[in-house]
Amino acid sequence: MNDRQRELARHALGLPNKKNTSYRNHFCAGVDHFDYADWEVMVSQGYAIKRTVPYCGGDDMFHLTLSGALLARNPKEHLSREDTAQMRKLGA
């Protein structure tokens, strides 16, 4: 995961914040979005998954896998229990 991808992953997790804990795990982008290619690379590396959902206007919704989220956080940051449980269901 390069620096730009890590920045996108942190944004998807809602980091940084005052509690140093993630509170979401999603990023919506279409093929014409500036960040789409970086998310596609993260999917190919196993750091994220991609789904098409109706509430994104036909765009794709990206979610970090547990391995991707662990790479994105800083040493004193944590993943919420809810996010971690969901990531475990995603695999990787």
Supply the DSSP symbol for 51: E
pTM score, whole prediction: 0.93
The owner of tokens 């004193």 is: 76
Q: How far is CA 50 from CA 18, 31, 74, 75, in A?
A: 28, 12, 24, 27
Confidence at residue 52, expressed as pLDDT on a 0 to 100 scale = 86
Class of domain 3-90: mainly alpha
User: Which of the 8 DSSP states describes residue 40?
Assistant: H
pLDDT at residue 92 in the model: 54
Token digits of residue 55:
């509430």
Report yes or no: 72 and 1 within 8 Å, Cβ to Cβ.
Answer: yes
Which pLDDT tens digit goes with each residue over 13-53? 999 999 999 999 999 999 999 999 999 999 999 999 999 88
Domain residue extents for the chain = 3-90
pLDDT of 91 > 80? The answer is no
Q: Tell me which residue of 12, 27, 28, 1 sits closest to 79, measured CA to CA.
A: 12
